[in-house]
């Protein structure tokens, strides 16, 4: 048996071991319930450091358009009435937009302006009777309370049998991001 045969045998053996290890690693990820693609989402429960690059769910949340120039300054949540988009902006981060997503508004929209988050509720029942979570309220206008929330059942549309509702619904994942980002006092900029 010549040296070429020995080298070939060792090379094939090494390739078989590497292939087996790669197969086992892939199977371990599947058993752990890990993502099956390179898309990932990250969030933090320790303040305004949450960011999202993609949704791990089967139907990812549509990404908002680019942040408009007229969106204010400083740490803020920006809500566009026209595009129904939300941006979480932290000027100390690179990029400054740490997350952006689309939402579904209630039956009425808030007037453009700057408002502080004044109330938060981890879980409650919405005016439409659905169980909601991560409620972040920022203004009241003409008897209507405006705030962001996510329905526990994943529904994004809101209907209020009593009439007007200012609930702005997001996906549960995006609701968690906003909740982590916007404690009481956080500026919410509503733009046209």
pLDDT > 60? residue 49: no
Beta bridge partners of 119: 137
Contacts (Cβ under 8 Å, ≥6 apart) of 29: 35, 36
Looking at residue 79, what is its pLDDT? Answer: 98
Domains of the chain: 41-191 (2.40.440.10)
- Could you write out the three-class secondary structure of 93-123? CCCCEEEEEECECCCCCCCCEEEECCEEEEE
Higher pLDDT, 190 or 32: 190
pLDDT, tens digit (0-9, with 9 covering 90-100), for 1-34 = 666 555 455 554 444 444 444 444 444 333 333 3
Burial of 151 from C-beta contacts in 10 A (0-12 / 13-18 / 19+):
buried
Q: Of 86, 64, 56, whose CA–CA distance to 148 is shortest? A: 86
Half-sphere exposure of residue 75: CA atoms within 13 angstroms, side-chain side: 15
Higher-pLDDT residue of 175 and 48 is: 175
Confidence of residue 76 (pLDDT cuts 50, 70, 90): very high
Closest Cα to residue 64, out of 43, 80, 49, 77? 80
Handedness of CA 21, 23, 27, 30 (dihedral sign): positive
Residue 59 reports pLDDT greater than 90: no
Residue-wise pLDDT for 126-145, tens only, equals 888 899 999 999 999 999 99
What percent of the chain clears pLDDT 90, i.e. is strictly above it?
57
State residue 162's pLDDT score. 66
Whole-number pLDDT of residue 2: 64
| pLDDT tens sequence across 170-183 | 999 999 999 999 99
Phi, psi dihedrals of residue 116, rounded to the nearest 5°: -90, 145
Q: Give the 3-state secondary structure of residue 176.
A: helix
């Amino acid at each position: 048996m010549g040296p070429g045969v020995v080298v070939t045998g060792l090379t094939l053996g090494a390739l078989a071991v590497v292939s087996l290890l790669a197969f086992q690693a892939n199977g371990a990820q599947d058993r752990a319930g890990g993502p099956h693609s390179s898309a990932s989402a990250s969030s933090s429960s320790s303040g305004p450091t949450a960011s999202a690059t993609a949704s791990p769910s089967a139907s990812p949340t549509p990404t908002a358009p680019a942040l408009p120039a007229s969106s204010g300054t400083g740490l803020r949540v920006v809500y566009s009435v026209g595009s129904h988009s939300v941006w979480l902006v932290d000027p100390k981060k690179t990029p400054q937009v740490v997350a952006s997503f689309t939402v579904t508004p209630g039956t009425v929209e808030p007037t453009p302006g700057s408002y502080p988050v004044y109330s938060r509720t981890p879980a409650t029942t919405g005016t439409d009777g659905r169980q909601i979570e991560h409620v972040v309220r920022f203004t009241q206008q003409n008897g209507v309370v405006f705030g962001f929330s996510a329905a526990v059942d994943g529904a994004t549309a809101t209907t209020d049998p009593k009439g007007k509702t200012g609930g702005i619904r997001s996906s549960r994942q995006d609701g968690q991001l906003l909740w982590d980002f916007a404690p009481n006092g956080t500026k919410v900029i509503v733009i046209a």
